[in-house]
């Protein structure tokens, strides 16, 4: 067994940061497409308005989701112990996330394939509920990472760790931060998503999105403030850096609300993006050095941590070279695609439904 | 049932289901790209119609591949946490690289292709489907490198202190002979399924239209459609025929490598219980597949020797001899450093039975080959029928063959994978890590069982929707198209919209 107090190598530190970057990319990008999808049944009054909403995220949502897959893959490659324990430990929550991702994914593709109102309403709800479930469960999970999930060896002397006690399910929902974050994250995504929608549309749907953002922004600000104080002052203080990040997050969130109330969609979107960025950095700060775990037996440090969970420096080096080359390339072409679709759209851009035959039974 | 048995079933169900969509995703993307290229080059409307038509069918399929694929990436950790911990240092890297290099490429550029018809100039728009197609192909390279490492673990060492496999050479992992031959074999398998699909859909329409043509009742639109479908059918048939030849060659090389690095799997493919020299190939055995005598069998002398060793009188080791030798300490692949170093550990954990499930390996191997040959035969028949301007008759047989054209290679893909994975048993990593010792100890049978039932229900419902949509859009036939052009008016309706 490796000594628990082993110092992390530079590569382990770098990979922890990179994984945080990938998660932040996911939360920022899919954050708004979850928000938009959640709102489809509520903000789109006509079929064409709903289609405008789908169009704001249609070209990009799938690429956004790859940030999650890459974050998961990077955890597997760089910290196999982290991936193994977390993914098996949070078995049922992850199952819920997968179901959410499945139903929202097919909804985007299939709603357009048949011009029947009931068919489309069904897929609108699947997109909405699926996105909500994913945001809710990730919120609960991240809230609990701040406390640390209790781990113990799967068997005496085993290098494999399991959450203790197993199954670890109901415990997730009785922590104040878990519950709070489970509510705040969907609300934050609703705010982020409605601001994005306002930014990407014009006409009535734009006005409605902006109005909704002006309201949900207050809820996000109130919930976010309680979360930041609880997290950084009561549950897991990380000193000055944590407080500074909390302050920045609060300022960004307040700024976003102020900007959207001025009708400045772009500035507000920068605000909500920065909010997610600062909140996520703050949470990842609490996950260092124990990766969001703690010793189930009450020890001071988690036996599963950035050293014991990590891959060899050889593998980490190879991966770092690949990431160093390809992450910038990915960011470049994904940004370019956003630029291609930069124009605001409205119901005028949506053609009438082509007459299509009834669905073969 | 134990959590471990259920986890095996869950992996089997979700993976086989996922792989119904993967071959079309990989190869149809490229075939659509080729159709679009012909349109860009010639400017003829029929190629644009075919691009849009098969593009839409491709997208209906693609969505399913994406959403069922996420389950795959998560379930290693969820159901096989000891496996993930043990192999993460090697297996995790290709998975992460797959996401970073392949998934981004395919997802981002496919989004651009779908919504970019009137946003991008023609050539740039065409490039986006190529990039997406290259992404899907790259994805298969990485995942096959990972899978091939499980079949033949090279470039790795066993670390006693961390109790896991660790990478020593990336080059060795990437140039694993199993990877090098599996990548083309799997890609060609994907091309067989996708070209069978193009040929089947085109051929089905062709038969309907040819009936109208005979009666002299073709409208101008139908005449144009007939011309387009004729092209699609022949295009699909030629690709199918070519891919079939390629798959025979790569499959042959695979057999020889398998004999070297996984001799038990080769014996299991044949239900060859006793060592033979020369070894006959069994076309069909009726009766029990265990060591007792078969009731009826058709054998071709020497052919198994040729498949396994390249000579007609080579020795092929039987299941019983191999099991005895492995239990006595012989390494499955004598060149594998990891197998040698992890042997002590394996002994402590214990191997219950060195023999895979023989009926499954025997029949899936035959189904794979039989279905592949059937697809090849259909392609040859279609080309024969269409020679010199010939048209098919709208007969039941023809229509059944057109339905079989995509399904036969698709199921050959499935049975090939079932053979590959079942033939590796009792191991997850050949000669190193048993499946029985690699599941998640903290996950209960209740959790695995419940989620398995729910996955199956959700997947079943999605299959109904997917097949319904495919049928609708296939029957609907070629769409009306307008020449796409880059829109400059911000308020103009898009020519393509969801």
Question: What beta strand segments (E) does chain A contain?
Answer: 149-153, 161-163, 293-295
Residue B106 pLDDT > 80, yes or no?
A: yes
pLDDT of residue A315 exceeding 60, the answer is yes
pLDDT of residue B290: 66
The pLDDT tens digits for A140-195 are 999 999 999 999 999 999 999 999 998 899 999 999 999 999 999 999 999 999 99
Q: Looking at CA atoms only, how far is residue A85 from chain B in angstroms?
A: 7
Of A246-260, A315-329, B270-284, B319-333, where does mean pLDDT reach its minimum? Answer: B270-284
The pLDDT of residue A4 is above 70: no
Q: Residue A292 region, left (φ>0) first, then alpha (ψ -120 to 50), else beta?
A: left
Q: What is the pTM of this model?
A: 0.95
Domain extent listing, chain A:
10-339
| Residues in chain B within 8 Å Cβ distance of A110 | 60, 63, 465, 469
Could you tell me the pLDDT band of residue B491, with boundaries at 50, 70 and 90?
confident
Q: Which residues of A touch B92 (CB under 8 A)?
A: 73, 76-78, 80, 83, 311, 315
Contact A59 B111 (CB under 8 A): yes
Q: If you average pLDDT over residues B80-97, what whole number do you get?
A: 97
Six token digits for residue A265 = 């969609």
Q: Is the pLDDT score of B489 beyond 90?
A: no
Q: Is the dihedral of CA A48, A54, A57, A58 positive or negative?
A: negative
Distance (Å, whole) CA B89 – CA A20: 19
Confidence (pLDDT) at A206:
97
Query: How many CB pairs below 8 A link A and B?
Result: 274
Using the beta-carbon criterion (under 8 Å), do B74 and A83 form an inter-chain contact? Answer: no
What mean pLDDT do residues B326-340 have? Answer: 96
> Is the predicted pLDDT of residue B88 greater than 80, yes or no?
yes
Q: pLDDT band at residue A5, thresholds of 50, 70 and 90?
A: low
Q: Residue A79: phi, psi to the nearest 5?
A: -135, 70
Contacts of A76 in chain B (CB under 8 A): 76-77, 84, 88, 91-92, 95-96
Cα distances (Å, whole numbers) of residue B85 to A77, A81, A154, A271, B25: 10, 5, 12, 39, 30
Smallest CA–CA separation between A117 and chain B, in Å?
A: 14
Interatomic CA distance for residues B324 and B354, integer angstroms: 9
Among candidates B93, B99, B468 on the partner chain, residue whose Cβ is nearest the Cβ of A360? B468
The ipTM of this complex is 0.95
- Count how many Cα atoms sit within 13 Å of the Cα of residue A303 in the half-sphere of its side chain: 22
Question: Distance between CA A330 and CA A335 in Å, rounded?
Answer: 8
Q: 3-state DSSP call for residue A264?
A: coil
At residue B158, does pLDDT exceed 70? Answer: yes
Contact B443 A356 (CB under 8 A): no
Kindly give, in sequence order, each residue whose CB lies less than 8 Å from that of residue B405, ignoring residues fewer than 6 positions away: B196, B197, B199, B200, B203, B236, B240, B375, B378, B379, B382
- Mean of the pLDDT values across residues B257-280? 92
Confidence of residue A357 (pLDDT cuts 50, 70, 90): very low
Q: How far is A114 from chain B (nearest CA, A)?
A: 8
A167/B447 Cβ within 8 A? yes
> Which chain A residues contact residue B468 at CB under 8 A?
359-361
Checking if the pLDDT of A360 tops 50, the result is no
How far, in Å, CA of A359 to CA of A114, rounded?
7
**Chosen from B10, B13, B96, B149 to mutate, greatest number of chain A CBs within 10 A:** B96
Residue B497's pLDDT band, with cuts at 50, 70 and 90, is confident
Closest B-chain CA to A104: B67
What average pLDDT does range A73-86 have in this prediction?
A: 98
pLDDT(A361) > 60: no
Q: What is the pLDDT of residue A2?
A: 46
Residues B456/B13, Cβ–Cβ less than 8 Å:
yes
* A358 — pLDDT class (breaks 50, 70, 90): very low
Answer left, alpha or beta for residue B57, where phi above 0 means left and psi between -120 and 50 means alpha.
alpha
> Do A51 and B84 lie within an 8 Å CB cutoff?
no
- Residue contact A318–B170, C-beta within 8 A: yes
Q: What count of other Cβ atoms lies within 10 Å of the Cβ of residue A350?
A: 21
Q: What is the pLDDT of residue B294?
A: 66
What's the token pair of residue A184? Answer: 């705040």
Q: What is the mean pLDDT of chain A?
A: 94
Q: Which of B115, B441, B447 sits opposite A59 (nearest CB)?
A: B115
Nearest neighbour of B166 by CB, restricted to A159, A312, A360: A312
B119: closest CA of chain A, how far (Å): 7
CA distance A211 to chain B (A): 23
Task: Please state the CATH superfamily assignment of the domain spanning residues A10-339 in this structure.
Answer: Formate dehydrogenase/DMSO reductase domain (1.20.1630.10)
The DSSP secondary structure of A45-56, one letter per residue, reads -SHHHHHHHHHH
B495–A351 CB contact, under 8 Å? yes
Q: A184-193 burial string, b = 16+ CB within 10 Å, else e?
A: bbbbbbbbbb
pLDDT over 90 (residue A58): yes
Nearest residue in chain A measured CA to CA from B91: A77
> How near does any CA of chain B get to the CA of A221, in Å?
33
Every domain of chain B and the residues it spans: 3-254+352-476, 281-316
What tens digit of pLDDT does each residue of B386-443 get?
999 899 999 999 999 999 999 999 999 999 999 999 999 999 999 999 999 999 999 9
Distance from CA of B118 to the nearest CA of A (A): 11
For residue range A13-39, list pLDDT tens digits in order: 999 999 999 999 999 999 999 999 999
* C-beta atoms of B84 and A87 within 8 A: yes
Pairing of strands B427-429, B156-159: unpaired
A155/B441 touch (CB, cutoff 8 Å), yes or no: yes
Rounded CA separation B243/B252 (Å): 14
pLDDT, tens digit, for every residue of A110-129? 998 888 889 999 999 999 99
Residues of B in contact with A356 (CB under 8 A): 472, 476
| pLDDT at A352 (0 to 100) | 83
pLDDT tens digits, residue range B206-265? 999 998 888 888 899 999 999 999 999 999 999 999 999 999 999 999 999 999 999 999
Nearest to B469 among A51, A58, A113 (CB): A113
Chain B positions touching A326 (Cβ under 8 A) are 100-101
User: Could you tell me which chain B residue has the CA closest to the CA of A91?
Assistant: B78
pLDDT > 90 in chain B, percent: 85
Contacts 24+ apart (CB under 8 A), A214-217: A214/A257, A214/A260, A214/A261, A216/A187, A216/A190, A216/A191, A217/A191, A217/A253, A217/A256, A217/A257, A217/A260, A217/A261
Per CB-CB distance under 8 Å, the chain A contacts of B110 are 62
What is the per-residue pLDDT across B13-53, written as a single tens digit (0 to 9) for each? 999 999 999 999 999 999 999 999 999 999 999 999 999 99
Asked if A253 contacts A275 with a C-beta cutoff of 8 angstroms, the reply is yes
Mark residue B315 as left, alpha or beta (left: phi above 0; alpha: psi -120 to 50; beta: remaining).
beta
Q: What does the block give as tokens for B330?
A: 């012989």
Q: Which residues on A lie below 8 Å from B52 (Cβ)?
A: none
Average of pLDDT values for A248-262?
98
Which one, of B243, B161, B153, lies nearest residue B196 by Cα?
B243
pLDDT tens string B432-481: 999 999 999 999 999 999 999 999 999 999 999 999 999 999 999 999 98
Taking contacts as CB-CB distances below 8 angstroms, the residues of chain A near B141 are: none
């Amino acid at each position: 067994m490796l000594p628990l107090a082993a110092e992390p190598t530079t590569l382990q530190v770098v990979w922890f940061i990179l994984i945080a970057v990938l998660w932040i990319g996911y939360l920022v990008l899919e954050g708004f497409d979850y928000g938009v999808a959640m709102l489809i049944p509520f903000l789109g009054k006509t079929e064409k308005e709903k289609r405008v909403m789908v169009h704001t995220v249609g070209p990009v949502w799938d690429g956004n989701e790859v940030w999650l897959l890459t974050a998961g893959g990077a955890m597997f490659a760089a910290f196999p112990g982290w991936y193994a324990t977390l993914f098996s430990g949070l078995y049922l929550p992850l199952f819920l996330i997968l179901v959410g991702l499945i139903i929202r994914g097919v909804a985007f593709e299939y709603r357009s394939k048949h011009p029947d109102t009931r068919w489309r309403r069904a897929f609108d709800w699947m997109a909405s509920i699926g996105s909500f479930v994913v945001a809710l469960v990730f919120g609960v999970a991240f809230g609990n990472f701040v406390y640390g999930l209790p781990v113990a060896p799967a068997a005496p002397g085993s290098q494999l760790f399991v959450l203790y006690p197993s199954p670890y399910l109901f415990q997730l929902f009785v922590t104040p931060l878990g519950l709070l974050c489970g509510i705040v994250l969907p609300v934050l995504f609703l705010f982020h998503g409605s601001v994005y929608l306002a930014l990407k549309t014009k006409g009535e749907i734009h006005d409605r999105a902006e109005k909704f953002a002006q309201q949900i922004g207050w809820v996000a600000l109130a919930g976010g403030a309680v979360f930041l104080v609880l997290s950084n002052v009561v549950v897991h203080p990380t000193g000055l850096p944590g407080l500074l990040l909390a302050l920045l997050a609060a300022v960004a969130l307040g700024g976003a609300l102020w900007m959207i109330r001025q009708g400045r969609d772009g500035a507000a979107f920068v605000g909500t993006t920065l909010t997610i960025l600062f909140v996520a950095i703050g949470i990842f700060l609490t996950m260092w050095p124990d990766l969001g775990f703690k010793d189930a037996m009450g020890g001071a440090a988690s036996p599963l941590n950035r050293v014991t969970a990590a891959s060899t420096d050889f593998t980490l080096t190879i991966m770092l070279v690949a990431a160093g080359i390809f992450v910038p390339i990915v960011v470049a072409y994904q940004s370019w695609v956003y630029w291609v679709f930069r124009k605001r759209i409205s119901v005028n851009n949506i053609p009438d439904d082509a007459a299509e035959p009834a669905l073969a039974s | 049932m134990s959590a471990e048995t259920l986890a095996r079933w869950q992996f089997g169900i979700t993976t086989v289901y996922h792989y119904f969509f993967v071959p079309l995703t990989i190869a149809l993307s490229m075939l659509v790209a080729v159709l679009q290229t012909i349109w860009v080059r010639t400017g003829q409307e029929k190629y644009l119609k075919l691009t849009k038509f098969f593009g839409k069918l491709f997208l209906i399929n693609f969505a399913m591949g994406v959403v069922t694929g996420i389950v795959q990436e998560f379930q290693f950790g969820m159901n096989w946490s000891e496996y993930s911990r043990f192999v993460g240092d090697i297996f995790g890297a290709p998975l992460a690289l797959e996401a970073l290099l392949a998934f981004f490429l395919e997802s981002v550029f496919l989004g651009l292709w779908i919504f970019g018809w009137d946003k991008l100039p023609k050539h740039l728009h065409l490039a986006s489907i190529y990039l997406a197609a290259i992404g899907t192909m790259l994805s298969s390279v990485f995942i096959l490198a990972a899978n091939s490492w499980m079949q033949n673990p090279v470039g790795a060492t066993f670390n006693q202190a961390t109790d896991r496999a660790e990478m020593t050479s990336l080059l060795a992992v990437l140039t694993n002979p199993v990877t090098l031959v599996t990548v083309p074999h799997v890609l060609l398998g994907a091309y067989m399924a996708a070209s069978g699909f193009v040929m089947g859909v085109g051929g089905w329409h062709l038969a309907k239209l040819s009936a109208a043509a005979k009666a002299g009742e073709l409208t101008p639109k139908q005449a144009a459609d007939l011309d387009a479908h004729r092209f699609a059918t022949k295009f699909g048939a030629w690709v199918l025929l070519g891919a079939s030849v390629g798959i025979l060659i790569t499959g042959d090389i695979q057999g020889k490598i398998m004999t070297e690095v996984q001799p038990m799997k080769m014996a299991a493919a044949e239900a060859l219980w006793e060592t033979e020299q020369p070894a006959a190939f069994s076309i069909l055995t009726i009766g029990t597949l265990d060591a007792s005598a078969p009731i009826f069998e058709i054998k071709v002398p020497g052919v198994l020797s040729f498949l396994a060793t390249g000579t007609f009188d080579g020795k092929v080791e039987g299941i019983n001899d191999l099991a005895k030798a492995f239990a006595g300490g012989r390494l499955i692949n004598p060149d594998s450093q990891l197998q040698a170093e992890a042997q002590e550990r394996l002994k402590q954990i214990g191997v219950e039975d060195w023999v895979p499930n023989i009926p499954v390996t025997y029949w899936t191997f035959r189904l794979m080959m039989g279905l592949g040959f059937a697809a090849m035969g259909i392609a040859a028949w279609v080309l024969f029928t269409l020679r010199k301007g010939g048209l098919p008759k709208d007969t039941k047989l023809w229509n059944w063959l057109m339905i079989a054209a995509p399904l036969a290679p698709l199921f050959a893909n499935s049975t090939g994978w079932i053979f590959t994975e079942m033939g590796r048993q009792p191991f997850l990593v050949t000669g190193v890590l048993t499946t029985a010792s690699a599941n998640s100890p903290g996950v209960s049978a209740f959790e695995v069982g419940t989620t398995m039932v729910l996955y199956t229900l959700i997947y079943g419902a999605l299959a109904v929707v997917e097949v319904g949509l495919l049928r609708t859009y296939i029957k609907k036939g070629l769409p009306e198209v307008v020449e796409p052009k880059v829109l400059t008016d911000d308020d103009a309706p898009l020519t393509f919209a969801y």
